[in-house]
Structure 1
Amino acid sequence: MTKSLIAAAALSATLALSATLAGTSAEAAPAVKNVVLVHGGFVDGSGWQGVYALLRKKGYSVTIVQNPTTSLADDVAFTKRAIAQQDGPVVLVGHSYGGVVVSEAGTDPKVKAVVYIAAFAPDQGESVSSLIANPPPGAAVPPILPPVDGYLALDKAKFAAAFAADVDAETAALMADSQVPWGVAALTGAVSNPAWKVKPSFYLVASDDRMIPPPAQHQMAKRAGSTIVESKGSHAIYVSKPGVVADIIEQAANAK
């Protein structure tokens, strides 16, 4: 084979390889790199620390919303401001009552997927109050104290067993003693157009949850058509098992 033929063959092979790589690159859409985390009632955003650290190590840009948990409208407004600050598509994640917030805020055009972590996933017109009105027989009763000035709190002595049974004792005590009063108005706030009807959704069921019964979690997740992952864990699974939570968020970020 002459030098010119060898050169032509090499050039042809190079062009073919380049075309193959270009096609592969075009087919593989980049993963979403922005994650917005929304906490639930009785707590603040600090519980996301472990999940935050794991996602940051993997290259994600992570924003933790510090919702006031005063009313659904206020909490949605805080969350939408966080979404607006992102420079691209977003995976929106909510724990517990935060699921109601992300259901309402998740219709934002920037949101690619919604992730529920042991969370409420209401349908149109539903609220936390309506979803907890008829608990399954034998379900654990959360130790919620009578409202004071329009706000709720959990009995500190029963907080760990109900909310954070698999969290170390020192952290659970800190969570109990640093509770954020949860506005009754937030519980009655109804969702207008749930994001799970128009966006892909993912749901992590905590099988040992004593705040939101696991059967109720499964029911809401199935109704939403969510991709469901179940893991042994308390209501505070986002604190006790940050790796499991980070994994389902990554699954949502990379979903087609």
Structure 2
Amino acid sequence: MSTPTIVLVHGAFADSASYAPVTRALLDQGHTVRVPAVPNRSLLGDAAYVRSVVEKIDGPVLLVGHSYGGAVITVAGAAENVVGLVYLAGYALDEGESLGALQGGFPDSDLAANLVYTPFPVPGAEDGTDVSVDVAAFPEVFAAGVDRRTTEVLAVSQRPLAALAFGEEAPVAAWRTKPAWGIVSAADHTINPAVERFGYERGGFRSVVELDAPHLVMLSHPDEVVAFIVDAATAVA
């Protein structure tokens, strides 16, 4: 098998730029990388979009998902050319499980008390609801451990997630048929780290690493994340 294209899938309240240091390092090492902009409108819609990107790639693909992006790759990873999945502080949903259901089995993180709900127009239908992180709380809740000036920029440029995504059930769990790896952010205030551990252990992931890192582990620990991704890419090559 040839070396896979690495597709980095961002999560909620972030965008493709959240992978910038990791993307730069992977490119410098000669890897083929794609970092699609996830719409963050619905789990099923987002997964379908990412899958459409993946299926246009010639050759094998290693999918990497951060946070909500983990739920997205769980579904999109069913694409035939996906050969592995890497979860970064991510949701590893099971078939028939929603984000709300998985989170509901564990104590809330600090995120729950700092969410902001804002209506947005949907042509020809009732307004949807955008969910974002309170700007003042964002640096500590979402990005503690990352340079404060950087987190202030991220806070005012975050990409919201439509509330619809929290209740949609995953129609498939790609980790059941594809090898998977996971990083737990042990200092995560956005997702309870126990949620991450549970999903990875349930899935029998090939390797699980715990880092003393915040939710945005790609920005706080880019070298460790790059090494972890490259190890997974090597294993499936």
TM-score, normalised relative to structure 1: 0.84
Residues 116 and 134, structure 2, Cα contact 8 Å, conserved in 1: yes
Deviates more, 1:163-172 or 1:123-132: 123-132
Cα deviation digits, residues 62-121 of structure 1 (max 9, x gap): 000101100112211221122123221110010000011000010111111000000000
* CA 1:80–1:183: 2 relative to 1, 3 Å: same
1:254 maps to what in 2? 234
Residues 69-108 of structure 1 aligned to structure 2 (within 5 Å): 69-108=40-79
CA distance in 2, matches of 1:139, 1:152: 16
Match of 1:221 among 166, 181, 200: 200
Higher strand share: 2
Report the CA distance between 1:33 and its aligned residue: 3.4
1:4 maps to what in 2? none
Amino acid at match of 1:255: A
Residues 100-179 of structure 1 aligned to structure 2 (within 5 Å): 100-136=71-107, 139-142=109-112, 143-149=114-120, 150-179=129-158
Identity level (%)? 34
Residues 65 and 73, structure 2, Cα contact 8 Å, conserved in 1: yes
Question: How many residue pairs get matched?
Answer: 226
Q: Secondary structure at the match of 1:146?
A: strand
CA distance in 1, matches of 2:109, 2:73: 25
Cα deviation digits, residues 11-31 of structure 1 (max 9, x gap): xxxxxxxxxxxxxxxxxx55x
Q: Which runs of 4+ in 1 moved over 6 A?
A: none
CA distance in 1, matches of 2:170, 2:231: 26
Residues 181 and 208, structure 2, Cα contact 8 Å, conserved in 1: yes
Check if 1:43 corresponds to 2:14: yes
Q: Secondary structure at the match of 2:190?
A: coil
Unaligned runs of 5+ in 1: 1-28
CA distance in 2, matches of 1:198, 1:117: 19
Report the CA distance between 1:178 and its aligned residue: 0.4
Q: Secondary structure at the match of 2:20?
A: helix
CA distance in 2, matches of 1:216, 1:71: 21
1:235 maps to what in 2? 215
CA RMSD of aligned residues (A): 1.5
Report the CA distance between 1:181 and its aligned residue: 2.0
2:160 maps to what in 1? 181
State the structure with more CA Rg: 1
CA distance in 2, matches of 1:39, 1:211: 14
Report the CA distance between 1:42 and its aligned residue: 1.2
Unaligned runs of 5+ in 2: 121-128
1:199 maps to what in 2? 178
Q: Which has the higher contact order (CA 8 A, sep 6+)?
A: 2
Residues 15-26 of structure 1 aligned to structure 2 (within 5 Å): none
Amino acid at match of 2:102: L
